[in-house]
């Protein structure tokens, strides 16, 4: 079954320093993690921050799929993909990024005022 991205399911990596996606491809619970990884490998996502370090670790050990995101401010988001849908992952990731963008905008507005 082919994965089709939702219309507005883009990701912006502007506030992201690095992402490590780790999964065992032979487990039945990796589909959403692989689909999230596919969202990261778009031209638009790459163009938003070409300094973001994206690593994929494919293991054959039956381990749980995990996405470990390190933001530029040192904050971390860890998503365990076994029980999450790709929409839930995208929502969590994009809301965290949006909050960081808003925080930066507020800081720059305070400095310029």
Alpha-carbon separation of residue 96 from 3, 30, 69, 110 (angstroms): 24, 22, 11, 21
Give me the chain's average pLDDT, please: 89
How far is residue 24 CA from its own chain's centroid?
18
- Domains of the chain (ranges; CATH) run 16-112 (3.40.30.10)
How far is residue 53 CA from its own chain's centroid?
12
| Element housing 68 (H / E) | strand 66-71
- How is 15-43 classified by DSSP, letter by letter? TEEEEEEEE-TTSTT-HHHHHHHHHHTSH
At residue 9, the pLDDT reads 58
pTM: 0.85
The model's pLDDT over 49-98, given as tens digits with 9 standing for 90+, comes to: 999 999 999 999 989 999 999 999 999 999 999 999 999 999 999 999 99
């Amino acid at each position: 079954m082919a994965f089709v991205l939702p219309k507005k399911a883009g990701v912006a990596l502007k506030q992201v320093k690095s992402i490590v996606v780790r999964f065992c491809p032979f487990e039945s619970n990796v589909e959403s993690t692989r689909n999230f990884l596919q969202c990261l490998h778009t031209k638009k996502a790459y163009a938003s921050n070409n300094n973001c370090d994206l690593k994929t670790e494919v293991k054959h050990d039956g381990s749980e799929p995990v996405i470990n995101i390190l933001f530029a401010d040192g904050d971390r988001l860890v998503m365990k993909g076994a029980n999450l849908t790709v929409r839930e992952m995208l929502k969590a990731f994009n809301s965290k990024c949006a909050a960081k963008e808003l925080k930066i905008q507020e800081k720059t507005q305070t400095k310029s005022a």
